[in-house]
């Protein structure tokens, strides 16, 4: 990894979806840069392209033009297995809905991204430590359906962190939670960001949430503008 380059760097990123009569151009030249351990919030109304942008940042989708670099490496030049390795080692994802597997316990869900590891015992210890950190250790054997919305999201956060990512990408992570659980989850994410010196990009339509993860980048007309 190139340690002098920004952790994440987008330049001139364009992304469109096929549509008639003309393609829907959602991202129209996004420039963005984030260093290791930094926070950023991307704020914009529903439908403006926030999830599209986060998917491109996380290499879940590729841009139609422009470049995405992670740790200085242009993702366009990587094959599928290199991208999968990069995602697994460097990136963690948290979505609005937890996406925990319903038939697996909390502990098993946290372990899933670590199944590729040779040392299963160490991974299991780390999963337990993470569940403890997010306040779910006593729920380790519960299935997602037996957890509250806030607990499900905390489980999803633990799962995102199991491989020690340098960047956490969070797409409306509190969007399905009540006010109290949302505030708790935001606080947890900020604590984890500081403890682990991990970078976070959070995407939201809620200004008060975005402020906690400042600096804020507003999405307008398919571009980002940093709020002063
Ligand atoms: P946000 O997350 O800000 O609500 P999205 O990135 O999900 O916005 O969507 C931006 C725009 O792109 C919306 O108009 C949406 O309908 C459209 N869109 C999103 N995903 C697709 C897709 N897979 N195919 C076609 N259009 C899409
Ligand atoms: Mg979205």
Span 189-205, pLDDT tens digits: 999 999 999 999 999 99
CATH architecture classification, 8-97+158-226: 3-Layer(aba) Sandwich (3.40)
Q: What pLDDT score does 171 carry?
A: 97
Q: For residue 48, how far is its CA from the centre of ligand 2 (angstroms)?
A: 8
Cα 49-94-98 angle, rounded to 5 deg: 110
Is the confidence at residue 5, as pLDDT, over 90? no
Domain ranges for the chain: 8-97+158-226
Ligand 1 contact via 48 beta carbon (within 6 Å): yes
Residue nearest to atom 7 of ligand 1 (CA): 51
Instruction: State the residue for tokens 């990587």.
Output: 78
Nearest-atom number in ligand 1 for the CA of 53 is 6
| pLDDT average, residue stretch 13-32 | 97
Ligand 1 contact via 24 beta carbon (within 6 Å): yes
Nearest-atom number in ligand 1 for the CA of 18 is 25
Tokens of 216: 């804020």
Q: Ligand 1, from 15, 49, 206: best to mutate by most atoms within 8 Å of Cβ?
A: 49
Is the confidence at residue 54, as pLDDT, over 60? yes
Residue nearest to atom 25 of ligand 1 (CA): 17
Query: Which residues, other chains included, contact 101 with Cβ-Cβ below 8 Å and sequence gap of 6+?
Result: 108, 109, 112, 144
Per-residue confidence band for 3, with pLDDT thresholds at 50, 70 and 90:
low
Is the confidence at residue 210, as pLDDT, over 80? yes
């Amino acid at each position: 990894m190139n340690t002098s380059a920004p952790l994440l760097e987008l330049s001139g990123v364009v992304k469109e979806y096929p549509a008639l009569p003309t393609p829907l151009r959602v991202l129209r030249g996004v420039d963005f840069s984030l260093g290791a351990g930094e926070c950023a919030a991307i704020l914009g109304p529903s439908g403006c392209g926030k999830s599209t942008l986060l998917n491109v940042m996380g290499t879940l989708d590729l841009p139609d033009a422009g470049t995405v670099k992670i740790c200085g490496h242009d993702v366009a030049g990587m094959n599928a297995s290199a991208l999968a390795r990069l995602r697994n080692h460097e990136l963690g994802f948290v979505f609005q809905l937890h996406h925990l597997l319903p038939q697996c316990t909390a502990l098993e869900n946290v372990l899933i991204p670590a199944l590729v590891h040779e040392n299963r015992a160490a991974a299991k210890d780390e999963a337990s430590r993470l569940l403890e950190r997010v306040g779910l250790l006593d729920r380790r054997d519960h299935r997602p359906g037996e957890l509250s919305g806030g607990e499900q999201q905390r489980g999803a956060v633990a799962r995102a962190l199991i491989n020690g990512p340098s960047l956490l990408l969070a797409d409306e992570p509190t969007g399905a939670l009540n006010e109290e659980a949302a505030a708790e989850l935001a606080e947890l994410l900020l604590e984890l960001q500081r403890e682990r010196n991990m970078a976070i990009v959070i995407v939201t339509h809620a200004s008060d949430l975005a402020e906690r993860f400042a600096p804020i980048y507003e999405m307008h007309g398919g571009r980002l503008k940093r709020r002063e």
